[in-house]
Structure 1
Amino acid sequence: MSIPHLFRCPISLDIFTDPVTLRTGQTYDRQCIERWLADGHRTCPVTMQPLGDAALDDLVPNRTLRHLIDRWLSAATDHRLPLSAAGDDDEEPSLAALKRCLLLQPDAAKVISTLKKVLALASESDVGRACMLQLGFLRVLLPLVFHAPARAECRSDQAEVEELALRCALSLMPTNPVAPELDCLNVLKREPCLASFVRLLERGSASARAGLCRVLETVATADATRDDLALLVAASPRVWDALLMPLLSSDADPEHEAEAAAPARGSAVSHGAVGALVRHLSKARKATEDGAAASALAAVESLAAGSEAGRRAVAGAPGATRTLVRHVFRMASSSSDACSENAVAALLAVCGESRAARSEAVGAGVVTQLLLLLQSQCGARAKAKARALLKLLKSK
Structure 2
Amino acid sequence: MARGKREHQLYVTVPSLFRCPISMDVMKSPVSLSTGVTYDRSSIEKWLSLGHKTCPATMQTLPSTHTTPNLTLRRLIHLWLSQADASQTSPSPISKQQAADIINAEFESDSLAKMIAFINASEENLKFVALSNDAISRFVKVFANSDAIRIREMIVDIFDLISRENGVRERLNRLILESDYCRDCLSSFTSILQKGSAESKVKSAKILNLIAVNPESQRKIAENLGLLYELYILANTEANNSAVEAGLSALLAISTSRPVKKELIRFGIVRTVGKILSGSDYSSAVRAVIEKACAILETVATCTEGRGAISEDADCVVGIVKRLMKCSGAATEHGITVLWSVCCLARDRVAQEKVAEVNGLTKVLVVMQSDCSAGTRQMCGELVKVLRAKTTKSNLAPYETRTTHITPY
TM-score, L = length of structure 1: 0.50
Cα distance change, pair 178–227 in 1 and its aligned pair in 2 (3 A):
farther
Deviations 1:67-95 (A, max 9, x none): xxxxxxxxxxxxxxxxx9861xxxx7543
Q: Which residue of 2 aligns with 1:356?
A: 340
The structure 2 residue matched to 1:365, chosen from 329, 339, 349, is 349
Q: Which residue of 1 aligns with 2:117?
A: 120
CA contact (8 A) 2:307 2:341 kept: no
Q: Which residue of 1 aligns with 2:161?
A: 171
- Measured in 1, the distance between the counterparts of 2:261 and 2:345 equals 15
Deviations 1:169-195 (A, max 9, x none): 321235324877433334585322221
Tell me, yes or no, if structure 1 residue 345 matches structure 2 residue 315: yes
CA contact (8 A) 1:324 1:347 kept: no
Opposite residue 203 of structure 1, the aligned amino acid is K
Tell me, yes or no, if structure 1 residue 238 matches structure 2 residue 226: yes
**What is the Cα-based RMSD across aligned positions, in Å?**
4.0
CA contact (8 A) 1:101 1:114 kept: yes
CA contact (8 A) 2:194 2:230 kept: yes
CA contact (8 A) 1:133 1:181 kept: no
Q: Which residue of 1 aligns with 2:235?
A: 247
CA contact (8 A) 1:121 1:128 kept: yes
CA contact (8 A) 1:201 1:243 kept: yes
Opposite residue 364 of structure 1, the aligned amino acid is D
Structure 2 gaps, min length 5? 1-88, 279-288, 325-335, 361-390, 397-409
CA contact (8 A) 1:201 1:242 kept: yes
After the TM superposition, which residues 1-396 of structure 1 pair with which residues of structure 2 at under 5 Å, given as runs?
87=92, 93-101=94-102, 103-105=104-106, 111-135=108-132, 136-149=134-147, 158-177=148-167, 181-182=171-172, 183-186=174-177, 187=179, 189-221=181-213, 226=214, 228-249=216-237, 254=239, 257-272=240-255, 279=262, 293=266, 295-301=268-274, 306-315=289-298, 317-318=301-302, 319=304, 322-324=307-309, 328=312, 343-352=313-322, 353=324, 354=336, 356=340, 359-360=343-344, 363-366=347-350, 390-392=357-359
- Measured in 1, the distance between the counterparts of 2:232 and 2:120 equals 31
Deviations 1:285-312 (A, max 9, x none): xxxxxxx736344345367664234325
SS at match of 1:242: helix
Cα distance change, pair 98–170 in 1 and its aligned pair in 2 (3 A):
same
Cα distance change, pair 185–302 in 1 and its aligned pair in 2 (3 A):
farther
Cα distance change, pair 278–351 in 1 and its aligned pair in 2 (3 A):
farther
- Measured in 2, the distance between the counterparts of 1:244 and 1:312 equals 15
Cα distance change, pair 188–212 in 1 and its aligned pair in 2 (3 A):
farther
Deviations 1:148-206 (A, max 9, x none): 53xxxxxxxx3433322221232123532487743333458532222121111222222
Shift of 1:323: 0.4
- Measured in 1, the distance between the counterparts of 2:350 and 2:277 equals 18
- Measured in 2, the distance between the counterparts of 1:171 and 1:238 equals 26
- Measured in 2, the distance between the counterparts of 1:227 and 1:273 equals 8
CA contact (8 A) 1:146 1:196 kept: yes
Structure whose CA Rg is larger: 1
SS at match of 1:307: helix
- Measured in 2, the distance between the counterparts of 1:132 and 1:367 equals 53
CA contact (8 A) 1:167 1:211 kept: yes
Cα distance change, pair 174–391 in 1 and its aligned pair in 2 (3 A):
closer
Structure 1 gaps, min length 5? 1-83, 150-157, 282-291, 329-342, 371-385
Aligned residues: 246
| The 10-residue stretch of structure 1 (352-361 or 132-141) with the greater mean CA deviation from structure 2 | 352-361
CA contact (8 A) 1:304 1:346 kept: yes
| The 10-residue stretch of structure 1 (172-181 or 346-355) with the greater mean CA deviation from structure 2 | 172-181
- Measured in 1, the distance between the counterparts of 2:296 and 2:91 equals 49
